[in-house]
Amino acid sequence: MAVVSHPPSQDNSVTSAHIPSAVSNIDTVASKLGDIRIQANELPDTEPLPNVNGNVPNGTDAPPSQKTGELKPDPKSRLETVASYPVSNLKLEDRLIDDFRPLRVAVIGAGLSGILSGILLPEKVPNVQLTIFEKSKEVGGTWLENIYPGVRCDIPSHVYQTTFSPNFEWSQQFAEGAEILAYWQNLTKKYDAARFLRLGTYVETAQWDDARSIWALTLQDVDSKHTSVEDFDFVITAIGRFNEWKLPDYPGIKDYKGHLRHSSNWDPTFDPAGKTVAVIGNGASGIQLVPELQKTVKHIDHYARNKTWIAAGWGGQERQFGPEYISEEQIKSFEDPATYLEFRKGAEDRYWRGANAMKAGTKENANYRERFTDIMKRRLEKRPGLAEKMIPDFSPHCRRLTPGPGYLEALTEDNLEYIQTPISKFTATGIETVDGTHREVDAIFCATGHNINFAPPFSIRARGVDLKTAWKHDGEIGFPKTYLGMASAGFPNLLFIGTVHTNGIAGTFVHSIESQITHYAKILRKVSSEGIKTITPSEWAVDDFISYADAYFPTTVMTGNCSSWANGGRPGSRIHGAWPGSASHLAFVRRNPRWEDYEYEYTSGSGNRFAYFGNGRTIREADPGFNITSYLKPNPADIDLRDIHESWHSWP
C-alpha cells in the first residue's frame, strides 16, 4: 500500500480529492515488484515543512495554501518512482508478532521448584509445552523423601508457603514434614499441575544438539527400566540442593550387619525402641533426629565431628522442644483477610531484615555470638563441660543456623554419649574410633547430608563439557560456574532453579523460587515471541558475576573456617549456596533480565533480529472479542501511575 504525505490543512483533514491521480498506478507497480513499501516525495525546497500544529518553524511564512486553509498539490512536487525505493534483502514472514512460537520445555524434578513451575509457567508463557519429569511416584521432593522421626521445617509454616495460595489452617508454628508435603501435593491438584507430570521417570542424560538446537533427554522408566529419548527446546533443572543423599565412605561400612540407613532413606517399619543406636552427623537432620530417638532408645551414640551453633533461626525466636500448636482461636481469626495479612506480613518481615548479621565485624553478628553462647551454656548446664566442646570458634551464620528444639537437652541425658573422636572404621557389629574404642550398636543412622558440590546427579553435556564432572572440585571448571546462579556459558537454553546462588541472605525460600520462575518466564516469552532459537549467557557476563561474588563473600562471615553446604563442605572454598547479597538485593536483580548479557541465535535463516516483526500486525487487533483497550480502567483516579503499561499481557 502506498502512503503519500502532504502538508496538512489547518483542520488536519485530507480527502481523497486532494490525492494526485498518480497514486492510482502505484498498486499495480508494487504488485510487480513484490512487497515493497512506498514513501512519499519530500516537499519542494520552496515550501518548508510545517509542524504538527500547521505552523512553519523558525518564523518562515506559511505557503499560501496554508494561510487560506486550502490544501493544494504543488505542481512541482512529484512522487518518487517505485523502482527507486531501496530493496530489502529480508523477505517478510507471514506471521503476527504476538503469535508465540510453541516451546517444548522440560522441567527436571517435582519438588517445590517443579510444582511451582507447573503452576506458574503455563500462566506466564503462552503456548508453552511443559513436561515435568520426576523419578519418584509422587511429587514433594525433599518432603516426600525425608520421613525420619522429628522431620519438620525450621521456618514458620506461614512463611514456608506460596504468596498466592496460603494455608490459613497450619496446625503448628513449625509444621511437620507430612503436613508440608500435603500442602504442596494439594497445590498440585488445585492448579492442575499434575497434567504436566511424568512420574516414575529418571533423566539419565541431557545432551545438547547444536545442529538442531535442541536438548535430547535420555529417559528411563524406573519400573520397566525402558529408555527413550525425547527432544526439548529448553531444559530447566529443578532438582534442588538436597536431592542426592550419600552414605559416608568409612572403611568397612559394607561389613556392618545391623540396621544401616541414611536419614533420607528412612525405613518406617524399623522400631528403634529399646535398642542401642548410633547417629552420625549434627547437621539439620541429625539435630532433628537425635531428640526423637533419645526418648525411646536404650542408648544412643551421637558422633558429631564439627562444632555448630544451636540457637534461634532467622526469625529470632527461641524454639521450645515439641510441637508448638496454633490455637483454634487464632486459626479462626485468620478467616478475616485483614487479620491474616497483618499476621503474615509480620511473620515474613523478620526474614527479610537479618542480612546485616551475616556481615563480618558487625555489631549484629557479635550480638548473635553473645546471645547464642548464653543460650547453649544455659541449655547444656546439666552436663558440665559439654558447652565448651560444642560452641564453635567460627561466627554464627558461617553455617546455616539450626534452632534444634530439644537437641541440646537430649545431649545432657544419661542414655546419650556425645562423641567427637573421629570414626576410624565400621565393623560387623558397630563403629570403631581412631583412639581404638569400639562401640557395638543395633542400628546406625547416617545423618551425613547430601551431595553438596552442586554438580547435577546426571550428565548435562554441551559443546564438549559435562557439568556433572566439570563442576566437581577436581573437574575442569572446579566449581559451579554460573551466570547469576541461573545459567552457564556454553550451555544454550539451560536454566537452573533452586540450586546455585538461589537464595539471598535472609528472605524466604518460596518467594525466591517464585521470583526465579517469573524471571525465567520473561526469558521464555522473549525467545518464543522474538524469533530466537538459542539464548546463552556470555563468558564475559559469567566472569563478571563470579568476580562480584568473589569480592562480596569475604565481607561476610560465610568464608570463615566452617564446613557448610554453602561452601560445598570445603572450608575456604567459594560460596555457591547463597546469593552474594541480601534477599531484597536478589529480588531487585531479578526484576528484569539483563538482555545485554546474553548471546543469541535466530530462527530466521536471514539472521535478522527483527524478522519476528512478521507482517506488521497482531492477533489481538483482528480479534473483535479481545479487550484491546484494557489500559482504560473503570476508576482512573485509582490508577497507580507506576503500573501504567507495565503488564506484559495487556498491551497496547
User: What's the whole-model pTM score?
Assistant: 0.85
Of the two residues 179 and 311, the one the predictor is more confident about is 179
| DSSP state for residue 617 in the 8-state scheme | -
Q: What is the pLDDT of residue 34?
A: 39
3-state secondary structure of 649: coil
Query: Lowest mean pLDDT: which of 49-58, 480-489, 498-507, 553-562?
Result: 49-58
pLDDT band at 312, cuts 50/70/90? low
Q: What is the pLDDT of residue 68?
A: 38
pLDDT in tens, 259-280: 999 999 999 999 999 999 999 9
Q: What is the pLDDT of residue 408?
A: 94
Percent of the chain scoring above 70 in pLDDT: 85
The 3-class SS string of 322-358 reads: CCCECCHHHHHHCCCHHHHHHHHHHHHHHHHCCHHHH
| DSSP state for residue 499 in the 8-state scheme | S
Q: Which of 152-156, 193-197, 349-353 has the highest mean pLDDT?
A: 193-197
Of the two residues 75 and 104, the one the predictor is more confident about is 104
Mean predicted lDDT score pLDDT of the chain: 87
Strand partners, 207: 216, 461
pLDDT band at 319, cuts 50/70/90? low
Q: 64 pLDDT exceeds 90?
A: no
C-alpha span between 334 and 517 (Å, rounded):
29
Query: Lowest mean pLDDT: which of 21-35, 136-150, 376-390, 634-648?
Result: 21-35
How many CA atoms within 13 Å lie on the side-chain side of 7?
A: 27
pLDDT in tens, 113-155: 999 999 999 999 999 999 999 999 999 999 999 999 999 988 8
Q: Does domain 270-446 have CATH number 3.50.50.60?
A: yes
Q: What is the pLDDT of residue 320?
A: 59
| DSSP secondary structure, 130-172, as one string | EEEEESSSSS-THHHH---TT-B-SS-TTTSS-SSS--TT-SB
3-state secondary structure of 216: strand
> Residue 232 is which amino acid?
F
Q: What is the pLDDT of residue 130?
A: 99
pLDDT in tens, 546-573: 999 999 999 999 999 998 888 888 888 8
Q: What is the pLDDT of residue 241?
A: 74
The CATH superfamily of 103-244+452-602 is FAD/NAD(P)-binding domain (3.50.50.60)
Q: 49 pLDDT exceeds 80?
A: no
Q: What is the residue whose three cell numbers read 546463552?
A: 536
Q: What is the pLDDT of residue 274?
A: 97
Measured CA to CA in angstroms, residue 258 lies from 54, 255, 273, 417, 429 at distances of: 96, 9, 15, 19, 7
Domain with CATH 3.50.50.60 in the chain: 103-244+452-602, 270-446
Q: What is the pLDDT of residue 568?
A: 84
Q: What is the pLDDT of residue 80?
A: 52
Q: What is the pLDDT of residue 310?
A: 87
